[in-house]
Amino acid sequence: MASQSSDTSNPEGAAVSVEETVLGQTAWFLHEQGDVQAAALLLDVEGIEWSPGNRFGDWTDACLLVPGWLMDRFTEEVLERVRHALIPIAERHGVDARSVYVGPALADLGTDWKSALQSKLTSDSATNHAARVADPKPELRRDGFVFDSREEVRVYEALKRAQAALPADATISIFPLPLGRVGVGNTWTPDFVVMREGRAGLIEVDGPHHRGRLAADGTRDRHWRNSGFVHIERILVEETAKDSELDSLVRTFLKRLRTH
């Protein structure tokens, strides 16, 4: 893909490429419009590449370079909202973009990539074994755990706040991303297992990709219940934006977990 990169100076004097400027201003604009979901997804985009829109190069298309674990969260609906914001912003920076799509952000490889990957796979066992992020950013790490997204981190922090507020003799245990074999023979990884007073519950953080698989999620939830989990809570990514709302959801989950 062809790159039309030039530098712009930020207030601190550091050089910022056109691609990074367009990406950042798009994220901020979406946030200001109240589209927290799209703005949060853009935080994990690693960059933009411009590709010719036709064989004459009359315009370009914007390819968002996205980690593999994040790609299915960029639904057509989300991309359309990003496109409406990004295209006029890109035009102000001299880029005539017509469409926006996602492509994989690929690792830079050397001839020793096999041994490097083997070393990575081995070292991953030192953190929670169900972590699915190949190269986690620092903001996805908490207390030795590795999370898939910032939304999961926010839910974890809300659970910790609830845990700290409970008395020592009636506290909860939190297990992020544990790998388990369910009675039907499937191996699944829930986002959180929470234990309270002898009762086990699940919390799943659902992104846009879950909207098209309600039946599959319902079947999975039934198997979880048949395996002994007394309550299952599904929290939408949109519901993780404000601590106050998230804390309320967690308190309700813990109340239901206790009374089931």
Q: How far apart are CA 249 and CA 240, in angstroms?
A: 9
Confidence of residue 215 (pLDDT cuts 50, 70, 90): low
Query: Residue 213 pLDDT > 60, yes or no?
Result: no
Percent of residues, the chain, with pLDDT higher than 90: 39
State residue 135's pLDDT score: 57
State residue 207's pLDDT score: 66
Confidence of residue 239 (pLDDT cuts 50, 70, 90): confident
Is pTM beyond 0.75 here?
no
Between 167 and 215, name the one with better pLDDT. 167
Query: Residue 212 pLDDT > 50, yes or no?
Result: no
Q: How far apart are CA 163 and CA 166, in angstroms?
A: 5
Q: How far apart are CA 190 and CA 174, in angstroms?
A: 12
Q: In 106-183, which residue ranges form alpha helices assigned H by DSSP?
A: 113-123, 150-165
For residue 81, report the phi and psi dihedrals to the nearest 5 degrees: -70, -40
Classified by CATH at the fold level, domain 127-259 comes out as Trna Endonuclease; Chain: A, domain 1 (3.40.1350)
Q: In the chain, which residue ranges form alpha helices assigned H by DSSP?
A: 18-32, 36-42, 76-92, 113-123, 150-165, 214-226, 243-259
Query: Residue 127 pLDDT > 50, yes or no?
Result: no
User: What is the Cα 74 distance to its own chain's centre?
Assistant: 10
Confidence of residue 194 (pLDDT cuts 50, 70, 90): very high
Q: Please return the burial class of 31, using the count of CB atoms within 10 Å of its CB with bins 0-12, 13-18 and 19+.
A: middle
**DSSP assignment string, 50-97:** EEESSTT-SSEEEEEEE-GGGGGGS-HHHHHHHHHHHHHHHHHTT--E
Cβ–Cβ under 8 Å, residues 260 and 199 = yes
State residue 2's pLDDT score: 41
Residue range 17-40: mean pLDDT, rounded: 91
Beta bridge partners of 17: 7
